[in-house]
């Protein structure tokens, strides 16, 4: 195994508060990293770096931990630009469009689904994402949900069974039977391919009792809970997440003080998805209120064809700073270490000794440019487990 020095880093963000400037971002200037065996083996001033087999000189660029996109619906077929255009013309989002994607996904071949997901994943990698969570939820039959999870597993270990995304058309007259299917035969078939169980606990989706029933079954099958909640209305998602000790409750647009207190008390991460609010033109959640209450906040894309066909974590960071009231430092932390917390991972989201060597190189003097220059292609290299993924060697 060859060791590699990445040096001449103008600004290195480690998200390790024990090094550098002592802030949560643990920033070092004129820094270097040594990678060995796919993990970070040394971090410090470039002038003090040890000898290695290979050297990469970044000429003063900024390095941040690779982004952890802890909420995506990676595998699906089709697209819904017409629905987007209609919504921008004034039609409200009700969640009904999911059925369109379910039909397209069921009709697609496995090869078509794999190719579509790979294209999205390549966009994510090129914009600095090194860990992706991927949910099922556009199959909604036993065989189709298994197929989506098997495809997701080809890209990530962070796979989530979301049979309870919506009640499919064929069960609209007997939703109880669908909930029983999800918590029974579908869960049994999907559990071997998933780490997490998720439910869309919201107005027009699944209520608190249905959510509890499905989460209980998922936990009994060895899965860990996370939820979609409080996006469309003030519902029970946050409280049920706290009750079950979920890793994360995602969206959080409509929270009461009791919800916020319950999340803080139970240590549930609030994952905010501002690209979904941006793309649906709905009010943003109040991130400041969550942070002030001691809730850990993560940021993710919610990449999906209906409400957030977004693959870029830099865009999400820019939105979080402009619209959620986070500082650039808080937004970067939420997109890296925060995402890792939402996935209960301590080996990613930071560039500390022993962490996975997952990083993004920015063609900028500071990470602040992620928010300061929205839309600019600042990520010029992405490294995962010590290997450069993007751009492929020889292309650039
Ligand atoms: Zn989602």
Domain coordinates of the chain in residue numbers?
A: 3-66+350-390, 68-342
CA-based nearest residue to 71, from 264, 317, 308: 308
C-alpha 174 to ligand 1 mean position (Å): 24
Q: How many whole angstroms separate alpha carbon 219 and alpha carbon 168? A: 23
C-alpha 276 to ligand 1 mean position (Å): 9
Which residue's structure tokens are 């990678």? 35
C-alpha 123 to ligand 1 mean position (Å): 18
Q: Tens-digit pLDDT profile for the chain (396 aa)?
A: 799 999 999 999 999 999 999 899 999 999 999 999 999 999 999 999 999 999 999 999 999 999 999 999 999 999 999 899 988 998 876 656 888 999 999 999 999 999 999 999 999 999 999 999 999 999 999 999 999 999 999 999 999 999 999 999 999 999 999 999 999 999 999 999 999 999 999 998 999 999 999 999 999 999 999 999 999 899 999 999 999 999 999 999 999 999 999 999 999 999 999 999 999 999 999 999 999 999 999 999 999 999 999 999 999 999 999 999 999 999 999 999 999 999 999 999 999 999 999 999 999 999 999 999 999 999 999 999 999 998 876 554
C-alpha 128 to ligand 1 mean position (Å): 20
φ, ψ dihedrals at 195, nearest 5° = -95, -35
C-alpha 308 to ligand 1 mean position (Å): 9
Task: Report pTM.
Answer: 0.97
- 3-66+350-390 and 68-342 agree in CATH topology: no
C-alpha 156 to ligand 1 mean position (Å): 17
Q: How many helices (H) and strands (E) does the chain have?
A: 15, 17
Q: How many whole angstroms separate alpha carbon 132 and alpha carbon 125? A: 9
Beta strand ranges found along the chain (DSSP E): 3-13, 27-36, 39-45, 54-57, 62-65, 67-69, 129-132, 134-135, 159-164, 196-201, 224-229, 248-251, 269-272, 297-299, 359-362, 379-384, 387-390
C-alpha 73 to ligand 1 mean position (Å): 6
C-alpha 307 to ligand 1 mean position (Å): 9
C-alpha 59 to ligand 1 mean position (Å): 38
Q: How many whole angstroms separate alpha carbon 195 and alpha carbon 28? A: 35
Question: CA–CA distance from 298 to each of 99, 249, 271 (Å)?
Answer: 28, 10, 4
Topology of the domain comprising 3-66+350-390: Urease, subunit C; domain 1 (2.30.40)
C-alpha 302 to ligand 1 mean position (Å): 5
C-alpha 137 to ligand 1 mean position (Å): 9
Beta bridge partners of 369: none
C-alpha 98 to ligand 1 mean position (Å): 11
C-alpha 43 to ligand 1 mean position (Å): 36
Residues with CB under 5 A from ligand 1 (ion): 302
C-alpha 352 to ligand 1 mean position (Å): 30
The enclosing H or E element of 186 equals none
Q: How many whole angstroms separate alpha carbon 77 and alpha carbon 206? A: 24
Q: How many whole angstroms separate alpha carbon 72 and alpha carbon 377? A: 21
Q: Indicate the SS3 state at residue 29.
A: strand
C-alpha 303 to ligand 1 mean position (Å): 7
C-alpha 369 to ligand 1 mean position (Å): 27
CATH code: domain 68-342 is 3.20.20.140
Pair of tokens at residue 352 = 């500390």
For the chain, helix, strand, coil in percent to 5 are: 35, 25, 40
Peptide bond before 391: cis, by omega within 30 degrees of 0?
yes
Question: CA–CA distance from 53 to each of 45, 48, 50, 56, 150 (Å)?
Answer: 18, 16, 10, 11, 38
Q: How many whole angstroms separate alpha carbon 324 and alpha carbon 24? A: 19
C-alpha 225 to ligand 1 mean position (Å): 14
C-alpha 118 to ligand 1 mean position (Å): 19
Degrees to nearest 5, angle at CA 217 with 214 and 219: 105
C-alpha 72 to ligand 1 mean position (Å): 6
Which residue's structure tokens are 């699906």? 76
C-alpha 107 to ligand 1 mean position (Å): 22
C-alpha 74 to ligand 1 mean position (Å): 10
Beta strand ranges found along 238-327 (DSSP E): 248-251, 269-272, 297-299
């Amino acid at each position: 195994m060859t060791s590699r020095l990445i040096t001449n880093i103008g600004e290195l963000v480690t998200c390790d508060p024990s090094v550098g400037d002592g802030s949560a971002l643990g920033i070092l200037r004129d820094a270097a990293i040594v990678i060995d065996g796919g993990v970070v083996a040394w971090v410090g001033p470039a002038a003090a770096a040890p000898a290695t087999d290979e050297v990469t000189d970044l000429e003063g660029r900024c390095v941040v931990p690779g982004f952890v996109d802890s909420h995506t619906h990676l595998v699906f077929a089709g697209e819904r630009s017409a629905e987007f255009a209609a919504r921008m013309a004034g039609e409200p989002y009700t969640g009904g469009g999911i059925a369109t994607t379910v039909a397209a996904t069921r009709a697609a071949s496995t090869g078509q689904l794999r190719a579509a997901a790979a294209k999205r994943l390549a966009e994510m990698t090129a914009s600095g994402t090194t860990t992706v969570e991927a949910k099922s939820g556009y199959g909604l039959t036993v065989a189709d949900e298994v197929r989506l999870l098997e495809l997701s597993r080809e890209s990530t270990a962070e796979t989530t069974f979301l049979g309870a995304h919506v009640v499919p058309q064929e069960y609209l007259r007997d939703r109880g039977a669908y909930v029983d299917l999800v918590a029974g035969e579908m869960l049994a078939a999907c559990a071997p391919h998933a780490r997490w169980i998720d439910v869309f606990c919201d107005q027009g989706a699944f209520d608190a009792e249905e959510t509890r029933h499905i989460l209980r079954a998922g936990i009994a099958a060895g899965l860990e809970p996370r939820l979609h909640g409080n996006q469309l209305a003030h519902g029970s998602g946050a409280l049920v997440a706290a009750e079950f000790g979920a890793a994360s409750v995602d969206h959080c647009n409509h929270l009461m003080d009791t919800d916020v207190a319950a999340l803080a008390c139970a240590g549930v991460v609030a994952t905010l998805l501002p690209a979904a609010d941006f793309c649906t033109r709905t009010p943003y959640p109040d991130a400041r209120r969550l942070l002030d209450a001691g809730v850990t906040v993560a940021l993710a894309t919610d990449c999906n064809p209906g409400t957030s066909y977004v693959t870029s974590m830099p865009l999400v960071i820019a939105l979080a700073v402009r619209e959620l009231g986070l500082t650039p430092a808080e937004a970067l932390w939420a997109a890296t270490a925060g995402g890792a917390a939402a996935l209960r991972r301590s080996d990613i989201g930071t560039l500390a000794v022993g962490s996975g060597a997952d990083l993004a190189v920015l063609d900028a003097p500071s990470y602040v440019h992620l928010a300061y220059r929205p839309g600019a292609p600042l990520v010029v290299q992405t490294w995962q487990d010590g290997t450069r993924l993007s751009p492929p060697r020889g292309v650039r």
